[in-house]
Structure 1
Amino acid sequence: MSISASILSSFITLLVTIGPIETAVVFAGLTAGIHRSERISLATRSVTIAAAVLLLFAVAGGVVLSLLHISLPAFRVAGGVLLFLQALTLTFSSPGLSSINEGERRESEGPGDIAVFPLAFPLIAGPGSLSAAVLVMGRTGNWIEGGSVLAMIAACMILTWFAMLAADRLVLLLGSTGADVVGRISGVLLAGLAVQFVFDGLAGAPFLAG
């Protein structure tokens, strides 16, 4: 795979698992009736926290796997399966791994700061996007590619921040049908990328070597 194709694949994987549009739709519902200045503050803090967590996973994920004696091929298979499950939930329009359930939504409606929970985690930096960050970083072969992955994570965070600020307009523009179509298309793309991660993992499996 060429460097440009690898970078594009990594960017799509990160963008789909982070899901700026899905995040914006949920953000609009959670912050309905809140003053715009407070919404901007919530969006900024949640994106900053999520970005820090994702960048940490991308940089230190390989070290943690090594300490746990988990090989990269094994994690590629496990991560590919995890991403495929998220792809299925997106394709069939059910809550994904990085979405929040009704219990979490009710908890977020109570008093307290929702920037950390549920906005930063699990909505933005959920299991799917955290796995994707480690997987795409594990595919890099040099510091240039590694830096490109970190830059793509930052770019996805910036897109998510802008989407959250424009959440009300996105909801009016897309509506439930438009958001559903975007989710299903994202699910199909993610399914293909997830299967490729599994293939890559199996190709590096010691029992299949030779």
Structure 2
Amino acid sequence: MLELTASRWVADFLFGFGALFAIINPYGLAFIFLDRTISLSEAERARVALRVAAYAFAVLLVSLFLGSQILNIFGVTIPALRIAGGLVVAAAGWSMLHATPTSASAHAAASADVATIQRMAFFPLTIPLTTGPGTIATAIAIGISRSDSLDGMFASSIVSLVVALAVTVTIYHAYRKSSAMARLFGQEGTSVVTKLSAFLLLCIGVQIIITGTSEVARSILEGASHAVR
């Protein structure tokens, strides 16, 4: 019985971690994070990365444990969350995709100072770039699937907490090592990867909008069919 319970916990962890890791894609976003913090030193970037990771951990916890209740209180549906967040993500990707290429020194001189970037740690670096509407919706779905029994709910809560912590650690590691990965790829390679990441970010935003719009259209059609009946 104990082995069965442990295997269930491991399966739940792998499912939750795999789903959130795939949606967030922290190592892909690391180049976007680096582009937004290019003017910072390594130590300053590490502090911003830690702050973003802490905010992401809070967002994941709230989404996992209170997400559905909060949306119900404000009357916000998952499709509305997807559409609004998708617009922000797509706009960020479009802006980065059409940004004028500059050298690292020129970019650093024109970039925002440390205080300004730290204020950007929650928005837009955490929401919606890191833990966007897709991540929030997935975390809410994982939270809703928890068992209703007291023992099952406790075990699922522990697993959810570990999942959130593990995902947060990967976010911090990816962002903390973003400059090292850039050095590995070189200036030209980093520019290419950044543009590709921006294009993928634009595509992700459009896909989130399409998904949310499709859900709204489906609910309208279902409501119309029920009215006809």
Unaligned runs of 5+ in 1: 97-104
Q: Trace 1:8-27 onto structure 2 (pairs within 5 A).
A: 11-15=21-25, 19-27=29-37
Q: Counterpart in 2 of 1:137?
A: 139
d(CA) in 1 for partners of 2:206, 2:17: 18
- Classify 1:69/1:158 alpha carbon distance in 2 versus 1 (closer, same or farther; 3 Å): same
Q: For the Cα contact (< 8 Å) 2:85–2:128, is it kept in 1?
A: no
Q: Could you tell me how far apart the structure 2 residues matched to 1:15 and 1:208 are?
A: 38
User: Residue 143 of structure 1 aligns to a residue in which SS?
Assistant: coil
Distance 1:209 1:67, change over 3 A: farther
Q: 2:51 aligns with which of 45, 50, 56?
A: 45
State whether residues 82 and 128 of structure 1, in contact with CA within 8 Å, keep that contact through their aligned partners in structure 2: no
Per the alignment, in what secondary structure is the counterpart of residue 95 of structure 2? Answer: coil
1:162 match: 173
Match for residue 207 of structure 1? 223
Q: Equivalent residue for 1:68?
A: 74
TM-score by length of 1: 0.63
Q: Deviations over 1:103-135 (max 9, x none)?
A: xx989516x4854x1123321233883533432
**TM, length-normalised to structure 2:** 0.59
Whichever of the two has the greater Rg, that structure is 2
- 1:10 to 1:48, Cα distance in 2 relative to 1, 3 A: closer
Cα distance in 2, alignment partners of residues 77 and 133 from structure 1? 13
Distance 1:45 1:128, change over 3 A: closer
The unaligned stretches of length 5 or more in structure 2 are 1-11, 98-108, 148-155
Aligned partners of 2:24 and 2:135 also within 8 Å: yes
Aligned pairs, how many?
188
RMSD: 4.1
State, as a whole percentage, how many aligned pairs show the same letter: 12
In the superposition, relative to structure 1, how do residues 60 and 26 fare at CA in structure 2: closer, same or farther (>3 Å)? same
Residue type of the alignment partner of 1:52:
A
